[in-house]
Amino acid sequence: MRKMNAKQGGAGRGNWVFLLLGILMFSGLNGCVYDHTDDCPQGINVHLYSKTPCHTGMVYPQLSGLELSVFDRHDKQVAYHITNHSVQTEHYMGRLKVENGLYNVTAWAGLDADAFERSFSDEKSGLLFRLKRSNGLAISLEGKRIYHGKSPAVFLPDPAEYGSVFESASVNLQEITNRLTIQVEGLPLTGDYKIAIESANGSMNIDGSIAPDDLIEYGSQTAFTNGLLEARITVLKLVTGHNSSLIISNKADNSELYRGDLLGTLLLKNPDVNLDCDHDFLVRFTIRDQCGCGTYMIAAIWVNNWLVHSYTTEL
């Protein structure tokens, strides 16, 4: 058997020292030892953007009151984070720690306490909020923009095999508030009029669906200038099947000059309107005295400068 001399023995021990140092350095960089997975944090890095089906480019809205929830494969909430300050989505990255498994992320923004009664459920299908109201009249949403979105599924592997892993999840935020400007031309200047929207869309679930609710009224402050009656109203998510109506009435005797289905009769009669993309609408009415006797009737209706109804030949 060959004997190792002192010089060779010293070189061998030196190699083992370098190998051991390399292992320790690798372990330090990795942040954990796989046999001790408590030292291996797992999680999701959340990025935000907004893109509608009508546009190819992404936009990055400025948000307030950002709320992030992580749900597991059984739609149970396992992590939650809220950011109270203003968020610029283009540069935002939120980190939520969760164990290995299959998840998706849900995001909400703009739900300030002044306008909403909150319900904190750990089920994705659970109630999230109810718009505040008094005697059926909803609190004003003027100036508010509310967003909701969810990410594709994200999988975190077993840390015993892969160590510490943080996967990325991108959430596409969609606005659920809608701004309507209602203009009425041709009414007598001596009248006192009211413009309102009624809908059963005042409560929403965490997953972005509309929750069962009573019919509420979105009121407005109207202005009558140079013969033009105008009102601005902000409402929540608009989908068919929730009894959304636009009403123009005379306050003096509560008589209705107009009542129509906001979606089926008005907005969706414009073929260019897409509720997944459009959130600002101009609805314009022309009213005429048909007989010169103080009997006023609708002559025409435009939605975003598209003539959706003309009653000239029908009256």
Domains and their CATH numbers in the chain: 37-110+145-175 (2.60.40.2100), 178-310 (2.60.40.2090)
CA gap 32, 39 in Å, rounded: 5
CA-CA distances (angstroms) from residue 144 to 26, 91, 116, 184, 243?
A: 50, 22, 12, 25, 23
CA gap 190, 99 in Å, rounded: 68
65-95 b/e (C-beta count within 10 Å ≥ 16 → b): bbbbbbbbeeeebbbebeeeeebebeeeebe
Average pLDDT over residues 55-63: 93
pTM as predicted = 0.85
CA gap 278, 63 in Å, rounded: 19
Cβ atoms within 10 Å of 235's Cβ, excluding its own: 22
H and E: helices and strands count for the chain = 2, 26
Confidence band of 293 (pLDDT split at 50, 70, 90)? low
Confidence band of 31 (pLDDT split at 50, 70, 90)? low
pLDDT in tens, 259-281: 999 999 999 999 999 999 999 99
pLDDT in tens, 98-109: 999 999 999 999
pLDDT at 25: 42
pLDDT at 12: 52
On whether the CB atoms of residues 207 and 180 are closer than 8 A, the answer is no
pLDDT at 194: 93
Q: Of residues 243 and 146, which shows the higher confidence score? A: 146
Residue 313, pLDDT above cutoff 70 = no
pLDDT in tens, 164-201: 999 999 999 999 999 999 999 998 887 789 999 999 99
Nearest one of 253, 197, 195 to 223, comparing CA atoms: 195
Among 12-16, 103-107, 113-117, the least confident range:
12-16
Average pLDDT, the chain: 88
Burial (Cβ within 10 Å: 0-12, 13-18, ≥19) of residue 26: exposed
Torsion of CA 26, 28, 30, 31, to 10 degrees: 160
- DSSP one-letter code for 268: G
SS3 (DSSP) at 23: helix
